[in-house]
Amino acid sequence: MRSAVIVFPGSNCDRDCATSLERVTGQAPTMVWHAETELPDRLDLVVLPGGFAYGDYLRSGAMAARSPVMAAVKQHAEDGRLVTGICNGFQILTECGLLPGALMRNVTMRYICKDTPLAIENADTAFTRAYGDIEETVMPVGNGDGRYFADDDTLAALEDSGRVVFRYLDNPNGSSNDIAGIMNARGNVLGIMPHPDRCADPAIGRTGGWAFFRSLAEATA
């Protein structure tokens, strides 16, 4: 699998994503600085990592969504290739229009950092097939703007088309419909608020995100 991780000013999970991808696939991704205007050739996957791009000022992800590299990321998605955004990366995907809805301040108005149980709502996607018959997993969240919001029509469309991929079982952020992760209509772009990159290492006993990256590797094999 040929992959790339976009590095924004303030990102702090870009290396976590890179390490997880290399651990699962045996191949290190290319790290692409946000000011680049092109992506490497023949990429299978682009990852927008979590962290605090631009310090999370203005609206979280809004400034990063206007970085020069994002035109190439959008073209990559429009070509039908895989894109995933984790935490701040999910925010960027909504801000640039690759996913519907928005990420807002947590209902508690506080930063939340904890392990959270998730239901795997759609196991038949490029991001989840390696979970097999596993219906639930656990991943950590770490955000202050993790509350997914969309209008009723958008929520209905997501639910009816099976585009809600992960759902909170404890909903720490107050997200609409307990949504933790969604994908686009084509099924090649996914945003997820919890961090699979922080729990994909069997050596430390945190494996809730292992099948997430395994799924991506198998989808592009």
7 to 31, 53, 140, 178: CA distances (angstroms):
7, 9, 21, 29
Alpha-carbon distance of 14 to 70, in angstroms, equals 16
Look at the chain and count its residues.
221
Q: Is 87 a catalytic residue?
A: yes
65 within 8 A of 74, measured Cβ to Cβ: no
Q: Is 195 a catalytic residue?
A: yes
Q: Which runs of consecutive H residues, i.e. helices, occur in the chain?
A: 14-25, 70-78, 88-95, 152-160, 210-219
Catalytic site residue from 13, 17, 76, 87: 87
Residue positions annotated with a catalytic role: 87, 195
